[in-house]
Chains A and B, each alone.
Chain A
Amino acid sequence: MKARLMEGSEAIAEAMVAAGCRFFAGYPMTPFTEVLEHMARLLPAVGGTCINAESELEAIGMAWGAAAAGVRAATGSTGQGLSLMQESIAEASTAGLPLVILNMARAQGDYFQATRGGGHGDYRTPVLAPIDLPEAVRLAQLAFHLADTWRNPVVFFGDYYLAHTYQSVGVTPLDFGPLPQKNWALDGSTSGTGRARLVSPLGDLKQRDGVGFDLADFYLRQADKLTTMIDGVQPLAETSGCEDAEVIVTAFGSPAKYIRAAVDALRADGRSVGYFRPITLFPFPAAALRQATASAGHVLVYENNLGQMIDDVRLALLGSADIRFIGGLSLDSSGFGIAPDLDVALLTERIRRSLDSAARAR
């Protein structure tokens, strides 16, 4: 498709449809609502279904059913709505359901919700956090590929700015390589054949296999899948000017755009500072961060929250650098996480002060 001026929410919806998503269910909540609206418009035209569910619990239940039936399916919400979905996300992972979940956050206080999850049991979900529309278009499609590869939910982490920014962007279907057959998906055709399929968080073994509910065997297989997935999903990161920098500033999502511009301005000013952005929030690009900070003694972490990603930075560096938090809560009156401090001049000054203080500490 030729590039055209699109709002972020439309670009995300177009990318999901380009990736072959044919089922979407959601309950309105800004800034997720806008994606839901576009899916309601786009899906019927390609023979897909979009349902405005009566609650987030039902939205993810419907997407669960569609994914179990073998089509690419997605749902999502914002903060509170995703809190309601946590039980299903956890069990969908155990049931081996390839779901894509949009976490269209307000500010960045839902980093832990997205990367750790609030559900029960041993499960993890890959989390992709784009900085702008071209990257969102790519990652929205990659999310489906990863979900199908690992038979696991994958979280796409967006925000208000991403959903509402207009940018000229082209959406073309991307080929990420071969995928396993969905010979486990339900369509009714194996009923009565002596080998009827079962898609269940309690395991897919049946009494006819001589075992029935062998949960130990099933959970161990799931644990193995989880480990393989965590090792197998390629961690992605963007770096700039890290080779020789004494201080590295990290940020993710839309706010990283402002940090990147501030770091560029400081480097133009002759300061020794680099920029690091995790694109996959899980698995966190720890090795890339260690490499980027090899020559740096100080790492500054900007987040639009009280400090969540900073835990992953600490875990990645394990004490090898001085780590300081330079973010803060988004206290805008709209409640949509439109941080007043997302201002390049203001952030440049904040980073400059940190650089000066770091220099004094040396």
Chain B
Amino acid sequence: MSEILRQTRIDGKLVLRTETAPADARLVDDFTPRLIDVGAHHLCPGCGEPIAMRSVLEIIDELGATDRAIGVFGIGCYTAFSNNLDCEVAQALHGRAPPVATGIKRVHPNAVVFTIQGDGDMANEGLQEVLHTAARGERVTCVMLNNGVFGETGGHITATTVIGQRTKNTLDGRDGRKDGYPIRVSDLIAQLDGASFVARCTVNTAGNVANARRMIQRAFQHQIDDIGFSFVEILTMCPTGWFIDTAEAPGYLTEHLAATHQLGVVKDTRA
């Protein structure tokens, strides 16, 4: 490890060099699941979406579903992943991923079909779509990456923004009386009989990533076993959209986002 963390000065600045790993160290590439084409992405430092995306792809590979996986992407920062994954993707319009996933799943019932949407895409633009898809019990897995903000537009209020959260159009923090109250999407979906697995997790600590992976695994298992509609809400860090330092984002998520959108399995008909 000492070699990895070897310090160098470049132009007087202290830089951590990481290109000289010891022989027994495992590199990022060693963990890259089969469904990733190119690891590089243009998302901001500290963003939770790449961790969430990667967790989904790792689980698909671990379940042996790689050669029958089809993703349907909404519109948000994560849309960038549609062109660096080695996974078949249908790009949907903003809010419309669940019906597109429905069409694909009905045509290819043996495919493992999932959607990736943000809270703006799913809870603002397309809440009706995901609710009806859940109510119909479509055998698809919908994943909502919830950071409580329109990250791609630059930090605006969404339907899941928590009370007090500052955004570009709630500068003094979200005020329920003025700006309305956050929707707890997982709790809403859990009420529907067509939904068999609903969980909320996050990727802000190593332990939480491990928990998130378990929940994602259970969600996909519900689809593969033909049990019902499955849903995973993943709380992700967005230091850029939260206007805080990158290193503060995991803590901010726990204190603010997760205080309203509480972590845990909300529903599992098999439990």
Contact = CB atoms under 8 A, between A and B. Distances in A.
A358 B55 CA distance: 75
Interface stretch (A54-62, A121-129, A274-282): A54-62
A212 B96 CA distance: 23
Contacts of B129: 57-58, 61
Interface residues of A, number: 51
A329 interface: no
A198 B88 contact: yes
B106 A188 contact: no
Contact of A212 (B84, B88, B91, B99): B84
A20 to B, nearest CB: 13
Interface string A200-217: 111101111000110000
A196 B87 contact: yes
Contact of A61 (B37, B82, B87, B96): B96
Nearest to A22: B107
A324 interface: no
Interface string A144-167: 000000000000000000000000
A316 interface: no
B37 A68 contact: no
Contact of A49 (B96, B106, B128): B106
A203 B91 CA distance: 9
B142 interface: no
Contacts of B256: none
Interface residues of B, number: 43
B104 A186 contact: yes
A215 to B, nearest CB: 11
A195 B107 CA distance: 22
B246 interface: no
A344 B118 CA distance: 58
Interface in A230-268: none
Contacts of A203: 83
B258 interface: no
B88 A206 contact: no
A257 B88 CA distance: 48
In the A-B complex, the 4 residue pairs with the smallest Cβ-Cβ separation, listed nearest first, are A65-B103, A61-B99, A200-B91, A188-B68
Interface of A: 22-23, 25, 49, 51, 53-55, 57-59, 61-71, 73, 87-88, 91, 95, 186-203, 205-208, 212-213
